[in-house]
């Protein structure tokens, strides 16, 4: 009896408890650091180590959260963040000497001179938290908005994500339309949303309405709806132009048989938006797996009542009568 108890405590319980405590404490420490990193000490500007800065830590946490959700197999997905002027100033002394300019492949004059933190092409999201300096880059755009150069990161070589044209064109559209508030563009390979692009018509109105119906919070979280791009070759100018056009109307754009792009003000809002759309898609996939016909659902008048109470305006184009 004594032997059993001691065996359980020493071999099973304590080691597991220690691992558990370490994981919980690491998470708490990361949260504390994200919340307390300061750029002023005794009234003087503190030149921050790039990896200590709040935006880099927030970026890494978001990328890892996405990986934990299962949206980033292999090198799937990419993330970009437009730095604030004060963040650029804070890290400037630690940036690498300027190197060669490289063409972006699209023109984004509205972003001339801006700095972005981006994921590297071919880099795995699961490795970002382990070795951010290998997986990420800070890039600077030139005064014409047609070239970029790497100023930090990718220490083992490489280049920014192959979806840089789409990220930057989306940033340009959103910067203008939100007076600079939107700073994050996120692309993930969201399983359920991708599955729906095989069974629903590739139409903004149908996707928006079906996603809204699948979870009550949806019309409040994305009242403008979602846009859908039919299958296209990824990574180039053509898909970037098409996506950015839809980003003028929506914060969410679904790429058929590929994934999703979301735009938002900060890491929490952008991650939360993509998470909400994908959760709703998961519910819809479950519904459609059980039956082709819903017995009851949220009606157009229910949506109108919701809009009134939650003070959002829901475009009537999505509240059409179904046969």
Residues designated as active site: 163
Q: What is the DSSP letter of 46?
A: -
Q: Do 189 and 71 meet the contact criterion of CB atoms below 8 Å apart?
A: yes
Decide whether 49 or 257 has the Cβ nearer to Zn ion. Answer: 257
Find the binder of ligand 13P among 48, 50, 78, 306 (CB under 6 A). 78
Q: How far is the CB of 92 from ligand 13P (least distance, A)?
A: 26
Compute how many other C-beta atoms are within 10 angstroms of the C-beta atom of residue 196. 25
Least distance to ligand 13P, CB of residue 160, Å: 8
Q: How many residues bind ligand 13P (CB under 6 A)?
A: 11
Looking at the DSSP bridge assignments, the partners of residue 188 are: 260
Q: Is 243 in the site for ligand 13P (CB under 6 A)?
A: no
Contact pick of 121, 146, 178, 216 for ligand 13P (by CB under 6 A) = 121
75 binds ligand 13P (CB under 6 A): yes
> Do residues 78 and 118 make contact, with C-beta atoms less than 8 angstroms apart?
yes
At closest approach, how far in Å is the CB of 23 from ligand 13P?
Answer: 28
Which tokens belong to 197?
A: 């692009």
Residues in 209-268 at the binding interface with Zn ion, rule: CB under 5 A: 259
CA distances from 51 to 7, 59, 93, 226, 278 (A): 43, 10, 14, 34, 30
Q: In the complex, which residue's CB is closest to Zn ion?
A: 259
Using the rule CB under 6 A, which residue among 37, 127, 146, 162 binds ligand 13P?
162
Q: Which stretch binds ligand 13P (CB under 6 A): 50-58, 70-78, 194-202, 262-270?
A: 70-78
The contact pattern for ligand 13P, residues 223-242, with x = CB under 6 A and - = no contact, is: -----------x--------
Which strands, in side-by-side order, build the sheet including 184-188? Answer: 102-103, 147-153, 136-141, 115-119, 78-82, 184-188, 259-264, 252-255, 227-229
Alpha-carbon gap, residue 115 to 117, rounded angstroms: 7
Compute the residue count for the chain.
323
Out of Zn ion, ligand 13P, none, which partner does residue 161 contact, by CB within 5 to 8 A per kind? ligand 13P
From the list 98, 99, 103, 122, which residue makes contact with ligand 13P (rule: CB under 6 A)?
122
**CA dist 91 to 33, 86, 138, 149, Å?**
17, 9, 11, 16
Assess 210 for contact with ligand 13P (CB under 6 A). Answer: no
In the chain the first and final C-alpha atoms are separated, in Å, by 70
User: Judged by CB under 6 A, does residue 272 bind ligand 13P?
Assistant: no
Q: Under the rule (CB under 6 A), what is the footprint of ligand 13P? A: 75-78, 119, 121-122, 161-163, 234
Summarize as ranges the residues that interact with Zn ion (CB under 5 A).
259
């Amino acid at each position: 009896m004594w032997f059993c108890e001691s065996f359980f405590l020493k071999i099973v319980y304590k080691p597991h408890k220690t691992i558990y405590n370490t994981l919980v404490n690491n998470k708490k420490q990361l949260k504390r650091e994200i919340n307390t990193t300061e750029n002023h000490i005794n009234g003087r500007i503190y030149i921050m180590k790039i990896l200590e800065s709040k935006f880099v830590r927030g970026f890494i946490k978001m990328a890892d959260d996405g990986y934990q959700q299962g949206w980033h197999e292999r090198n799937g997905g990419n993330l970009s963040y437009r730095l604030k002027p004060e963040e650029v100033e804070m890290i400037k002394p630690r940036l690498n000497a300027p190197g060669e300019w490289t063409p972006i492949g699209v023109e984004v004059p509205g972003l001339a001179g801006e700095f972005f933190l981006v994921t590297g092409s071919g880099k795995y999201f699961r490795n970002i938290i382990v070795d951010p300096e290998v997986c990420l880059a800070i890039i600077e755009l030139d005064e014409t908005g047609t070239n970029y150069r790497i100023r930090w990161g990718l220490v083992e070589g490489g280049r920014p994500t192959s979806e840089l044209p789409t990220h930057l064109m989306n940033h340009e559209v959103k910067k203008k339309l939100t007076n600079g508030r939107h700073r994050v563009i996120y692309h993930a390979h969201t399983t359920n949303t991708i599955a729906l692009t095989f069974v629903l018509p590739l139409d903004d109105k149908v996707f928006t309405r079906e996603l809204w119906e699948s979870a009550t919070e949806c019309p409040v979280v994305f009242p403008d709806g979602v846009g859908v791009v039919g299958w296209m070759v990824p990574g180039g100018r053509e898909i970037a132009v098409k996506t950015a056009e839809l980003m003028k109307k929506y914060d969410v754009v679904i790429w058929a048989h590929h994934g999703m792009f979301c735009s938002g003000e900060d890491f929490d809002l952008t991650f939360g938006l993509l998470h909400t759309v994908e959760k709703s898609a998961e519910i819809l996939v479950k519904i459609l797996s059980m039956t082709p016909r819903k017995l009851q659902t949220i009606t157009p008048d229910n949506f109108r009542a919701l809009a009134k109470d939650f003070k959002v305006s829901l475009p009537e184009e999505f509240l059409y009568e179904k046969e």
